[in-house]
Amino acid sequence: MEECDVAIIGGGPAGLSAALLLGRSLRTVVLIDNDRARNSAAKASHGYMTRDGVAPGELRRLAREELRQYPTVRLQQGTAKEACSVQGGFVIALSDGRQFASRKLVIATGFADHLPPIRGLRETYGSSVFPCPFCDGYERRNESTAVFGRGHKVYRFTKKLFNWSKDLAVFSDGPSELDQGEREELIQRGIRLFEEPIEELASRDGMLHSVILRGGAVIPRTSGFIADTGASEASDIPDGLLVARDKTGKFDTQAHGKTSVDGLYIIGDAKNAFTGLVGAAGEGYEAGTIIVQELAEEDWERCR
Ligand SMILES: Cc1cc2nc3c(=O)[nH]c(=O)nc-3n(C[C@H](O)[C@H](O)[C@H](O)COP(=O)(O)OP(=O)(O)OC[C@H]3O[C@@H](n4cnc5c(N)ncnc54)[C@H](O)[C@@H]3O)c2cc1C
């Protein structure tokens, strides 16, 4: 079994950033990743300073290239199957049978989306239909925009999208679950609500041009945003380590992603559901600094 100071599971911006900080702090690190980036459907990533518009894969490639300058950081391709807490740290088992022992463990495994079964959504997701207006709203500003979703969630999402376009139409693909007040608010702003089931999102080369309803009505729309992507944690490793969940169902973490399990940190989307690239990278950096401090203090005590 290979040993290191810190094992990081998940090589998105959160894990990559933590690895960079730890490598620069002379710590031995294994970064385990199975290359299933949540944003891989997107053609471009936005809002990351100096890299606005970069392809998601390119951002990761650049980060991995930087990490290769640090000899104590090992990039390990593979899927972490489970982790257990042992005396002095953790043991992480990969699905190919490899094992790593570490003093600290960072979970940065993100979320996975499970899109609703709307015909044509997969073809348009990441090209002209998106989950996040902060990420892609600017590029689709003032367009005829479809908003997909139900209930209070889609109402709040529509209010947010109003920042980027006033030409909005809500498609609930069945009963909208909006209350009377919410419906009236939409009407007052000229926002149409379509509760009829969706037959298909019609597109060319990933670019939406209309939403076709079951009854045959064709509603022209050039972009879309989806309120609920059916996202859930990509990994249940924290459950196996008995990390408690808070009232909202998220893993219970304190400052810098520290958990109640000694030496275990959860950062990025795995902690927050949707952190954004900068936010996830920031959390990796912060967790890294705290871990270095903890390790240094432990070593200080040992070297009396
Ligand atoms: C379509 C789309 C577009 C987006 N566009 C933007 C944008 O333009 N700007 C922006 O700021 N944000 C954007 N986001 C959000 C952004 O992608 C996430 O918030 C961010 O990637 C979270 O980073 P993370 O490191 O926490 O997780 P992720 O980036 O999801 O990385 C998690 C990593 O962990 C790996 N992993 C999971 N489980 C295991 C396991 N058991 N073993 C090994 N590896 C594992 C996965 O393969 C993945 O590489 C977008 C999201 C989506 C879905």
Domains of the chain: 2-113+231-302 (3.50.50.60), 121-226 (3.50.50.60)
DSSP structure class, residue 270: H
pLDDT band at 151 (very low <50, low <70, confident <90, very high): very high
How many angstroms separate the CA atoms of 206 and 300, rounded? 57
- Residue 234 Cβ contacting ligand 1 at under 6 Å: yes
- Residue 18 Cβ contacting ligand 1 at under 6 Å: no
Locus of tokens 């300058």: 69
- Beta strands 2-9 and 29-33: pairing type? parallel
Residue nearest (by alpha carbon) to ligand 1 atom 50 = 39
CA 47 distance to own-chain centroid = 15
- Residue 72 Cβ contacting ligand 1 at under 6 Å: no
Ligand 1 centroid distance, CA of 270 (Å): 9
- Residue 268 Cβ contacting ligand 1 at under 6 Å: yes
Ligand 1 centroid distance, CA of 40 (Å): 8
How many angstroms separate the CA atoms of 13 and 73, rounded? 16
- Residue 126 Cβ contacting ligand 1 at under 6 Å: yes
- Contacts (Cβ under 8 Å, ≥6 apart) of 248: none
How many angstroms separate the CA atoms of 125 and 176, rounded? 22
Instruction: Decide if 50 contacts 62 (C-beta within 8 A).
Output: no
pLDDT at 12: 98
Please give the span between the terminal C-alpha atoms of the chain, in angstroms, as a whole number. Answer: 28
- Residue 94 Cβ contacting ligand 1 at under 6 Å: no
pLDDT band at 18 (very low <50, low <70, confident <90, very high): very high
pLDDT band at 24 (very low <50, low <70, confident <90, very high): very high
pLDDT in tens, 100-118: 999 999 999 999 999 999 9
Residue nearest (by alpha carbon) to ligand 1 atom 2 = 39
The angle, 0 to 180 degrees and rounded to 10, between the axes of the packed helices 151-161 and 180-188 is 20
Name the average pLDDT for the chain.
97
How many angstroms separate the CA atoms of 211 and 193, rounded? 13
How large is the average pLDDT for residues 217-233? 97
Instruction: Decide if 120 contacts 150 (C-beta within 8 A).
Output: no
How many angstroms separate the CA atoms of 265 and 283, rounded? 10
- Residue 199 Cβ contacting ligand 1 at under 6 Å: no
Identify the burial level of 304 via C-beta atoms within 10 angstroms of its C-beta, where 0-12 means exposed, 13-18 middle and 19 or more buried: exposed
